[in-house]
Amino acid sequence: MRSLLLIGGTSDIGTAIARRFAREGRPVVLAARDVGEAEAAAADLRHRFGVPARAVALDVRDLEAGLELVHGLEPCPEIAVAAVGWLPEQAAVREDPEGVRRVVEVNFTAPALLLAALGRRMAEEGVRGHLVALGSVAGDRGRASNWWYGAAKAGLHAAMEGLRQELLDAGVRVLTVRPGFVRTKMTAHLALPPFLTSTPEDIARLVHRAVTKGRSGPLYPFPWRLVSLLVRLLPASLARRI
Ligand SMILES: NC(=O)c1ccc[n+]([C@@H]2O[C@H](COP(=O)([O-])OP(=O)(O)OC[C@H]3O[C@@H](n4cnc5c(N)ncnc54)[C@H](OP(=O)(O)O)[C@@H]3O)[C@@H](O)[C@H]2O)c1
């Protein structure tokens, strides 16, 4: 069985997805900037599921290193999940060039570029694989509280939609997960509404089912497809007040 590559190898949602696939015997490669933490997660996968699992160092802001990694993996992975993300305080990055560069690179440029490179490799090598990008409903509409993050995620959604069309004939599927609220270290400081909040394991189950069924397109946990639709349809005057 070909491997699953997790870009953002220490992400709470990403590692839950990796565990879900490792359970059925799939080898895993965890690419993370904290290679020690990723290696501990890889050891856990080896121990629990008896699968080959390893960690590799990658800071996704080093785009050349990212490309070298995805071109160097042998054999080409069958599933690639980009779970990198950075949700800063909007006020802290609003007009800070370095903060803006980082929020766009981590949430948009790097995942889009690395998934595109893997998609091309899959197509060229005849691997009918799956690309999974972690997007966000924050990308559905600009909001005063997080519009740099939301704009970067909107860019990722558009890139994945284009990639999905480009790779359709090669049989490579592209999923864009828009998970709503998920209780992880990214949101640990936020008060999230329990009835709208998923666990990383909920999202992992959703992704596993969609990949297994060969689905492509946006993917939402219940009831976020409806929430997202309403958010997009709201007139601007009303959206401002909610
Ligand atoms: N949690 C939610 O409610 C929620 C909602 C919608 C979308 N999402 C998206 O879901 C994805 C996973 O998020 P999560 O909730 O699992 O949060 P998380 O546990 O904080 O995961 C984010 C991951 O991104 C990694 N990362 C950040 N900058 C990086 C860089 N320069 N190079 C390499 N890795 C980097 C982090 O690594 P470090 O540990 O080294 O920082 C971490 O592993 C993200 O794309 C996020 O935007 C989350």
> For residue 36, what pLDDT is reported?
98
Query: Which residues contact residue 157 at a Cβ distance below 8 angstroms, ignoring those fewer than 6 apart?
Result: 135, 139, 176, 178, 218
Q: What are phi and psi of 185, to 5 degrees?
A: -65, -25
Ligand 1 pocket test, candidate residues 58, 84, 160, 219, most atoms within 8 A of CB: 84
pLDDT at 235: 87
Mind listing the pLDDT tens digit for each residue in 223-240? 999 988 988 898 888 887
Q: 0.75 cut: is pTM over it?
A: yes
Q: Is 149 a catalytic residue?
A: yes
- Classify 126 in phi/psi space as left (phi over 0), alpha (psi -120 to 50) or beta: left
133, 174 Cβ separation under 8 angstroms: yes
The amino acid occupying position 109 is T
197-198 and 181-182 beta bridge pairing: parallel
Q: Which domains does the chain show, CATH number per domain?
A: 4-241 (3.40.50.720)
Which candidate in 108, 149, 220, 224 is catalytic? Answer: 149
Tens digit of pLDDT per residue, the chain (242 long)?
999 999 999 999 999 999 999 999 999 999 999 999 999 999 999 999 999 999 999 999 999 999 999 999 999 999 999 999 999 999 999 999 999 999 999 999 999 999 999 999 999 999 999 999 999 999 999 999 999 999 999 999 999 999 999 999 999 999 999 999 999 999 999 999 999 999 999 999 999 999 999 999 999 999 999 988 988 898 888 887 77
